[in-house]
Chains A and B, each alone.
Chain A
Amino acid sequence: MRELIHDELIHRIASADEITVAAQRLRKTALEKDLAPGAVLEVFEQWAAALDAPGVREIPGVAFLRLWLRRGTLEPILLRELGPQSLECGWREHGRARLRAFPLGVVGHWPAGNIEIQPILSLTCALLGGNSCVVRVPSGLMDPTRLVIQRLQEVDRDGVLRERIFLASFDHSRIDLQEAMANSVDGAMIWGGEEAVSEVRALPFPHWARVLVFGPRLSVAAIDAGVWGERDQRASWCRRMARDVWQFEQQACSSPQTLFLEHGDGCDAAEFVEDLRAAFQEENRAHPRLGIEPALTSAICQARASWLLDDVANRACFPQSTDWTILQGKGVDIPEPTQGRTLSVLVADDLLHAISKFDGTVQTLGLAVKDSRREEILAEAAGRHGVDRVVRLGQMHVFGSPWDGTDLVRPMVRMVRHVRSQD
């Protein structure tokens, strides 16, 4: 039988029936009770405020989540994705027809196990479409998820959102439970690495289910010669870089793994790395690392050693601990990422050349470019070479729509068109 844990917020699942029964109830709610996006935004706004609490605000990513839940962030997204008047549940005129967004029903969420706020981010997208949600919470994210959902419970007094959420916990190897979950949903949002994503995609979803996949991707930062040459600005750009590196332990798809530095007159890479080192040390003081998987320790030591052993022209800068590593060299090819506390800094003659070598694996390009016209050219090239987000350096993790090149709310709703028979 079902064992309830974590204040009954996250259900530890033992049998497939538990998922099936929960999904039936959730579908009934989603299809029979209207949930206007406007009403969702109201609760979200209060939720954002409630997340500014001790023990919660410290969870990695909660600062981004609070920003994401604000009406000012979500209203424009809803209007763009669902159209005008989309904040109310109702039909809108569209030429000689009427249009209205209806929820798919139940959306299943398979978040990655490495981003604390991802189960929440994922479900908010489906809730905005009026859907109910079954979320498989990865074992490592139980505590942060519980803390964040507890705050929703406090502000959602009428339970309009709570009655549409079912958080489930079960071992990823329980194929019967994975299949039951896939079978029970009308839509799916899948996040994670190649292996995890492939496994979930292969589950037996109903033929009508809409499946949305995010990941795996990596991200890159770039600073042009104009910005690099501005000595007085360099320290602040390095601080922004450090912030992007620190978030999510560099394991998110939006985490920068490589920084391309465009060479110009008076640009000294050693000087730049000194500034970056100072920024990393400062970030480490402000947000000290608390733990590490020993396998990542091995990977970091391996990255340091192989970088310096492979080419005597390569440089590196790192403390005795695993807190951060800067690998410095030249080139336009993205080195194999360590995906943890390690940034490759490559001096390139031309950023355009580096960007034109991207092969579709790059999700986000964080830019610091002095001239706006030049930036437009670089963004255009990035788009052509598979990049889905081009943002200012320091804002690489700011969640927004579209993400990975796709809308976040629209794919989980059905846009119903009514052409009047009287006309």
Chain B
Amino acid sequence: MSQLADLHVQLVELEQSIGTLLDTRPYAMAPEQRNEYLLALFKRELEYACERSSRFSNYVRHWPVSLSAADKIADLPYLPVSVFKANPPLSLVPASEVKRTLRSSSTSGQVPSRVVLDAATSRRMTKGVIAIIRNFVGAARRPYLVIDTQENLGRQSELGARGAAIQALGSFATETVSCLLLDSQGELALDSEKLLACAAKWKEAEVLVYGFTYVIWTQLVGPLKRAGITLNLPNVHVLHSGGWKRLEQQAVTKDQFVRDLASVFACAEDRVIDYYGMVENVGVVYPDCARGYKHVPAFAEVIIRDPLTLAPVEAGEQGLVQVCSVLPTSFPGFLLLTDDMGEIIGHDGCGCGRRGTHFRFLRRVPEVEVRGCGNLETTRQRRGGGT
């Protein structure tokens, strides 16, 4: 059999195995059963990626533990997320098969990460996000209010983190409305008229709302509070992501954010759901459960590593977050060490009823403050990671 045909067979087999996990209820598998399945699947995915990329193969070949000797997911070779800042982006497919490129959000001056999606990975990404979000807000299709501009709703070959997050939820929508526009100075502004018209129309209906955390705070909550407007949409689910750094700079606490946001919609506070995710970890998002923890779905895993030893830490200890996902086959994003700090709460038995690993996101890794006499750089571009 030719090498190409062999790769195709491998991919078909992988597709079946990934599909099995995607069709499973995301938080129902027993951890032991899931670990065994994931370990075997990750090994096959890594072997497949090595066949497709000699560069990736070179990395795997030098890993201190060989694939055959690895007896747990934590032994397998992981990449730091910052490798996706490379240009051209790391890919396991020819350029002709790339359907979309996802770009991470990055603060000023930083190089964004980019990951390439082929049709199959793109399909799995959508399926993964739907499976997770459905578990939190229900399966029904409903009006979808996007706290962003129309520009981020359109399909583009290269998509930023905001656009990717917005479009990933599009499957829940019966209709999609964006309520921000760009004013004459190119600044974001709330289209109050449009928003109020929608609120009047939807009233008691189930509505899905999504926006980046700081965009929601600055462009929705702020203006509505100042104007004394309440939207009276008690049955919304407001999903938001993108981190707290900018709000922390404005001394806005998470409690204050949730309280004010719920008050603007006139909904219960538990209808506001923060989630953690990153473009490199395609198809996997981590919404907060009612207990305030983030859960790992069946097709993924999260490991927290000690920054010194890089060994997995016990529940209750803090370390660097490693995200693992079986979903991508167009880029080697199976096992990624992020620049985020987190804490494993437990590997099963969360009070919310979901099974499997649950964890807490703590903070981004701070930049090194010490500037020594050996440091020739004024800035260091090594950032990547969660939103």
Residues of chain A in range 213-236 having any CB-CB distance to chain B below 8 Å: 214-219
Binds B, one of A123-131, A307-315, A384-392: A307-315
CB atoms of A301 and B80 under 8 A apart? yes
Q: Whole-angstrom distance from the CB of A321 to the nearest CB of chain B?
A: 5
**Across the A-B interface, how many residue pairs have beta carbons closer than 8 Å?**
159
CB atoms of B320 and A215 under 8 A apart? no
Residue B228, interface by CB 8 Å: no
Residue A421, interface by CB 8 Å: no
Q: Whole-angstrom distance from the CB of A286 to the nearest CB of chain B?
A: 17
Residue B378, interface by CB 8 Å: yes
> Among the listed B57, B86, B309, B373, which residue makes an inter-chain contact with A114, where contact means beta carbons less than 8 Å apart?
B373
Residue B32, interface by CB 8 Å: no
Cα-based distance from A294 to B62 in the complex (angstroms): 23
Residues of chain A in range 262-320 having any CB-CB distance to chain B below 8 Å: 289-299, 301-302, 304-306, 308-312, 314-320
CB atoms of B307 and A194 under 8 A apart? no
CB atoms of A192 and B372 under 8 A apart? yes
Knowing A253-B374, A322-B307, the reply to whether A294 touches B320 (Cβ < 8 A) is: yes
Q: Whole-angstrom distance from the CB of B313 to the nearest CB of chain A?
A: 13
Cα-based distance from A66 to B205 in the complex (angstroms): 77
Residues of chain A in range 112-144 having any CB-CB distance to chain B below 8 Å: 112-115, 118, 138, 140
> Among the listed A193, A194, A308, which residue makes an inter-chain contact with B62, where contact means beta carbons less than 8 Å apart?
A308
CB atoms of B373 and A112 under 8 A apart? yes
Q: Chain A contacts of B370 at CB under 8 A?
A: 112-114, 138, 140, 251, 293
CB-defined interface of A181-215 with B at 8 Å, one 1/0 digit per residue?
Answer: 00000000001111110000000000000000011
Q: Chain B contacts of A86 at CB under 8 A?
A: none
Q: Whole-angstrom distance from the CB of B360 to the nearest CB of chain A?
A: 16
Residues of chain B in range 300-327 having any CB-CB distance to chain A below 8 Å: 307-311, 320
Q: Which residue of B lies closest to A196 (CB)?
A: B371
Binds A, one of B16-24, B34-42, B250-258, B361-369: B361-369
Cα-based distance from A112 to B365 in the complex (angstroms): 22
Interface of B is mostly: loop
> Among the listed B83, B367, B371, which residue makes an inter-chain contact with A306, where contact means beta carbons less than 8 Å apart?
B83
> Among the listed B82, B307, B311, B374, which residue makes an inter-chain contact with A302, where contact means beta carbons less than 8 Å apart?
B82
CB atoms of A292 and B307 under 8 A apart? yes
Residue B194, interface by CB 8 Å: no
Cα-based distance from A115 to B371 in the complex (angstroms): 10
Q: Chain B contacts of A299 at CB under 8 A?
A: 380, 382
Q: Chain B contacts of A252 at CB under 8 A?
A: 372-374
CB atoms of B64 and A319 under 8 A apart? yes
Q: Which residue of A lies closest to B83 (CB)?
A: A305
Q: Whole-angstrom distance from the CB of B321 to the nearest CB of chain A?
A: 11
Knowing A308-B59, A312-B54, A320-B64, the reply to whether A339 touches B311 (Cβ < 8 A) is: no
Cα-based distance from A309 to B331 in the complex (angstroms): 13
Residue B375, interface by CB 8 Å: yes
Cα-based distance from A304 to B80 in the complex (angstroms): 9
Q: Chain A contacts of B309 at CB under 8 A?
A: 320-322
Residue B293, interface by CB 8 Å: no
Cα-based distance from A296 to B58 in the complex (angstroms): 23
Q: Whole-angstrom distance from the CB of A316 to the nearest CB of chain B?
A: 5
Residue B337, interface by CB 8 Å: yes
Residue B118, interface by CB 8 Å: no
Cα-based distance from A97 to B122 in the complex (angstroms): 86
Residue A258, interface by CB 8 Å: no
CB atoms of A321 and B80 under 8 A apart? no
CB atoms of A217 and B374 under 8 A apart? yes
CB atoms of B311 and A309 under 8 A apart? no
Cα-based distance from A218 to B375 in the complex (angstroms): 8
> Among the listed B58, B65, B368, B375, which residue makes an inter-chain contact with A295, where contact means beta carbons less than 8 Å apart?
B368
Knowing A218-B376, A306-B86, A309-B59, the reply to whether A113 touches B371 (Cβ < 8 A) is: yes
Number of interface residues, chain B, beta carbon within 8 A: 40
Q: Whole-angstrom distance from the CB of A195 to the nearest CB of chain B?
A: 5
Q: Which residue of B lies closest to A141 (CB)?
A: B370
Q: Whole-angstrom distance from the CB of A104 to the nearest CB of chain B?
A: 23
Q: Whole-angstrom distance from the CB of A274 to the nearest CB of chain B?
A: 14
CB atoms of A309 and B368 under 8 A apart? no
Q: Chain A contacts of B307 at CB under 8 A?
A: 292-294, 297, 322
CB atoms of B373 and A115 under 8 A apart? yes
Q: Chain A contacts of B375 at CB under 8 A?
A: 192-194, 216, 251, 339
Q: Chain B contacts of A296 at CB under 8 A?
A: 368
Residue B177, interface by CB 8 Å: no
Residues of chain B in range 29-81 having any CB-CB distance to chain A below 8 Å: 54-59, 62, 64-65, 79-80
CB atoms of A302 and B376 under 8 A apart? no
Cα-based distance from A279 to B119 in the complex (angstroms): 49
Residue A255, interface by CB 8 Å: yes
Q: Whole-angstrom distance from the CB of B91 to the nearest CB of chain A?
A: 12
Cα-based distance from A269 to B369 in the complex (angstroms): 36
Q: Whole-angstrom distance from the CB of B60 to the nearest CB of chain A?
A: 9
CB atoms of B374 and A312 under 8 A apart? no
Cα-based distance from A382 to B176 in the complex (angstroms): 66
Cα-based distance from A81 to B46 in the complex (angstroms): 62
Residue B377, interface by CB 8 Å: yes
CB atoms of B374 and A305 under 8 A apart? no
Cα-based distance from A337 to B382 in the complex (angstroms): 13
Cα-based distance from A140 to B373 in the complex (angstroms): 15
> Among the listed A193, A216, A292, A310, which residue makes an inter-chain contact with B308, where contact means beta carbons less than 8 Å apart?
A292
Cα-based distance from A317 to B55 in the complex (angstroms): 16
> Among the listed B59, B310, B368, B374, which residue makes an inter-chain contact with A215, where contact means beta carbons less than 8 Å apart?
B374
Would you mind naming 5 contact pairs between A and B with Cβ atoms under 8 Å apart? A114-B372, A295-B365, A302-B83, A305-B80, A309-B55
Closest 8 CB pairs of A and B: A114-B372, A193-B375, A193-B371, A215-B373, A301-B80, A253-B373, A297-B307, A308-B59
Interface residues of B (CB under 8 A from A): 54-59, 62, 64-65, 79-80, 82-83, 86, 90, 307-311, 320, 337, 339, 341, 365-378, 380, 382
Known contacts A217-B373, A253-B374, A295-B367; 14 additional CB pairs below 8 A are A112-B373, A114-B370, A193-B374, A219-B374, A250-B374, A253-B372, A253-B373, A294-B341, A294-B365, A295-B365, A308-B59, A312-B55, A312-B58, A314-B58
